[in-house]
Amino acid sequence: MTIHSVFLCLGANLGEREANIEEASLFITFNMGDITGKSSIYESSAWGMENSPEFLNQVLKISTKLSPKELISEIAELEVFFGRERSPSKYLDREMDVDILFYDDEIIDGEKIQVPHPRLHLRRFVLEPMAELAPEMIHPVIKKTMQQLLNECEDKNEVRKK
Count up the domains in the chain and report the number. 1
Residue ranges making up the domain that contains 68: 4-118
6/102 Cα distance (integer angstroms)? 5
Whether pLDDT at 4 is above 90: yes
> For residue 55, which of 127, 134, 160 has the smallest C-alpha distance?
160
pTM for the whole structure = 0.93
**32, part of any domain:** yes
pLDDT over 90 percentage in the chain: 77
154/130 Cα distance (integer angstroms)? 16
**43, part of any domain:** yes
Whether pLDDT at 87 is above 60: no
> For residue 130, which of 138, 71, 97, 23 has the smallest C-alpha distance?
138
Rounded to the nearest angstrom, the gap between the alpha carbon of residue 155 and the centroid of all alpha carbons in its chain is 17
**145, part of any domain:** no
**113, part of any domain:** yes
Contacts of residue 134, Cβ cutoff 8 Å, sequence gap at least 6: 7, 37, 61, 146
Supply the CATH number for residue 33's domain: 3.30.70.560
Average pLDDT over residues 76-93: 71
Whether pLDDT at 5 is above 60: yes
**140, part of any domain:** no
- Mean pLDDT across the chain, nearest whole number? 91
* Model confidence band, residue 50 (pLDDT cutoffs 50, 70, 90): confident
> For residue 40, which of 16, 56, 20, 64 has the smallest C-alpha distance?
56
**36, part of any domain:** yes
For residue range 97-117, list pLDDT tens digits in order. Answer: 999 999 999 999 988 889 999
Whether pLDDT at 26 is above 90: yes
User: Is there a contact between 81 and 72 (Cβ–Cβ < 8 Å)?
Assistant: no
> For residue 97, which of 5, 16, 13, 155 has the smallest C-alpha distance?
13
**159, part of any domain:** no
Q: Any bridge partners for residue 100, and if so which?
A: 8
Average pLDDT over residues 9-31: 95
**158, part of any domain:** no
User: Is there a contact between 61 and 79 (Cβ–Cβ < 8 Å)?
Assistant: no
Whether pLDDT at 88 is above 60: no
